[in-house]
Amino acid sequence: MAKGRFWDMPIDTGPIPPSESDFDCIVVGGGPGGAAAASYLAMGGKRVLLIEKGVWPRDKVCGDAVGGKSLGHVKALGIKAKLESTPHFRVTGIVFSSPNGKEVMVPLPEEDVERMEAGYSLPRQQFDWLVFERASELVLKNNGAVIQGATVTKVLDSDNKITGVEIGIGGKRGEKRVYSAPWTIGAGGYQCPVARKIVKEMANEELVDKMHYCGGYREYWDGVKGCEGDSGSIEIHFVDSIIPGYFWLFPLGGGRVNVGIGMVIGLMDKQKKKLKPMQADVIANHPSFKDRFADAKMVEGTGKGWQLPFGSPRKKEKNQPRRAFAPGALLIGDAASLVDPFSGEGVGNALVSGEMAARHVIENKGGLAYQEDLWAALGPELTNSYKMQKLSRRKWLLNWFVGKASRKPVIQEMMTEMIASKEAQENLHSKWFLMKTLLF
């Protein structure tokens, strides 16, 4: 293992298997979801083919916050100690501000990081390197194969069952090879070819609903005031010009900060807004931020946009949030549209669904059972988050709530529990609890 910044080094994944090879399962995409699914499958004794279009080291546009939900998987995959030995920012709180500039800090106690589901922030280049390298090690050890720098160009089917994939080595126009397996897991993110095949082509259902897709834009900055140190709060600001949506400052340690904004695409289109100029305006002119950025410098070439497929329930379709299975195939992570519609977090749900899909393949269960299990596990919190997202579209409500929360410790405690513990999220269903806490 290379010393120093090993996440800037290439990962050796061995030779590309000959065309027409067979596997127990093909995993398309080597982000957190695909890498986790491949790892769990290999640990369960399956011969896996893991295919990734990028070549490590590679970046992924993200806010870089890895929430507590991910920590159990990071541990189960055997990379927790290694991850914690690399530079990261330990999140001990979340600062929220409302459009009128009021602020509240919700603490996530450091000593209780696992139970309270606080987490880290660290660049995705670093996080993804760790999970992909671990997946490669486990897959290769179990007689599978890992391919980087190859794009899945076709998803193959026979008698309405997905049977394998065609790849182009080095890109779409590169040398073609085909592979087959009784199961294929689609983990290719928001542009996943397996999702397109299952949802659009096979089921003729809607893949992209702009009211359930978010546009996100991030930049890396050095020297933003108030973001020094290697532990502390990440910041979520509901700024006047970005409602409905938010502006974030997620420190990464060592004085570097992930700065970005996100907004539901359907609502952004209605307001005819663009994320990059909106962010530039907040940084240069907003009274709460212009001084904090006065001596800061953007890291060149880091301004990039991407899309977040939200997991909010979509009324028209019975498979929520959208279809995630076909005979012979399952979808996970962003390919299954599982990003939290309030916080924008998707890494945790990519890992959770990766483990769940691997289990279903190992047990050779039908696809509908996977969809039902997935929604049973994630549906309640995704539905809650969607309600919160809709409430946050009202400026007056945000002003009122943050103002109230900044004065009442009991609301701060409630928010800590809401963010951090799953049981406490149940309280959101109790109108009596909310009324009592907010009004008195």
Ligand X SMILES: Cc1cc2nc3c(=O)[nH]c(=O)nc-3n(C[C@H](O)[C@H](O)[C@H](O)COP(=O)(O)OP(=O)(O)OC[C@H]3O[C@@H](n4cnc5c(N)ncnc54)[C@H](O)[C@@H]3O)c2cc1C
Summarize as ranges the residues that interact with ligand X (CB under 6 A).
Answer: 28-34, 51-54, 60-65, 67, 151-152, 187-189, 191-193, 216, 218, 260, 306, 308, 333-335, 339, 344-348, 350
Distances (CA, A) of 213 to 7, 188, 190, 337, 344: 30, 16, 10, 9, 10
Nearer to ligand X by Cβ, of 63 and 232: the residue is 63
* Strand stretches in 29-79, DSSP E: 48-52, 65-66
CA–CA gap between residue 382 and residue 387 (Å, rounded): 9
Helix (H, G, I), strand (E, B) or coil at 328: coil
Q: At closest approach, how far in Å is the CB of 439 from ligand X?
A: 32
Nearer to ligand X by Cβ, of 202 and 324: the residue is 324
**Which residue is associated with the tokens 């809709």?**
390
Q: At closest approach, how far in Å is the CB of 409 from ligand X?
A: 27
On whether the CB atoms of residues 166 and 197 are closer than 8 A, the answer is no
Exposure class string for 296-310: b at 16+ Cβ within 10 A, else e: bebeeebbbebbbbb
Count the Cβ atoms, other than its own, within 10 Å of residue 428.
18
Helix (H, G, I), strand (E, B) or coil at 7: helix
> Can you read off the two tokens belonging to residue 34?
């695909």
Q: At closest approach, how far in Å is the CB of 1 from ligand X?
A: 22
Nearest alpha carbon to residue 6 among 132, 170, 139 = 132
Nearest alpha carbon to residue 197 among 158, 248, 224, 223 = 158
Nearer to ligand X by Cβ, of 194 and 202: the residue is 194
CA–CA gap between residue 238 and residue 392 (Å, rounded): 8
On whether the CB atoms of residues 47 and 183 are closer than 8 A, the answer is no
Q: At closest approach, how far in Å is the CB of 431 from ligand X?
A: 30
Q: At closest approach, how far in Å is the CB of 258 from ligand X?
A: 7
Nearer to ligand X by Cβ, of 115 and 172: the residue is 172
On whether the CB atoms of residues 264 and 257 are closer than 8 A, the answer is no
Nearer to ligand X by Cβ, of 293 and 306: the residue is 306
Nearer to ligand X by Cβ, of 32 and 164: the residue is 32
Nearer to ligand X by Cβ, of 167 and 411: the residue is 167
Q: At closest approach, how far in Å is the CB of 344 from ligand X?
A: 5
Helix (H, G, I), strand (E, B) or coil at 343: coil
Q: At closest approach, how far in Å is the CB of 38 from ligand X?
A: 11
Q: At closest approach, how far in Å is the CB of 308 from ligand X?
A: 5
Q: At closest approach, how far in Å is the CB of 410 from ligand X?
A: 28
What's the start-to-end Cα distance of the chain, in Å? 58
CA–CA gap between residue 367 and residue 325 (Å, rounded): 5
Q: At closest approach, how far in Å is the CB of 188 from ligand X?
A: 4
Nearer to ligand X by Cβ, of 102 and 133: the residue is 133
Could you write out the DSSP letters of every residue in 357-426? HHHHHHTT--HHHHHHHHHHHHHHHHHHHHHHHHHTT-HHHHHHHHHHHHH-HHHHHHHHHHHH-HHHHG
Residue number, nearest CB to ligand X: 346
Q: At closest approach, how far in Å is the CB of 32 from ligand X?
A: 4
Per DSSP, what are the bridge partners of residue 161? 158
Nearer to ligand X by Cβ, of 187 and 402: the residue is 187
Nearer to ligand X by Cβ, of 51 and 257: the residue is 51
On whether the CB atoms of residues 375 and 381 are closer than 8 A, the answer is no
Helix (H, G, I), strand (E, B) or coil at 254: coil
Nearest alpha carbon to residue 199 among 180, 210, 186, 212 = 186
Nearer to ligand X by Cβ, of 62 and 162: the residue is 62
Helix (H, G, I), strand (E, B) or coil at 307: strand
Spell out the residues 6+ positions from residue 432 whose beta carbon is closer than 8 angstroms to its own: none
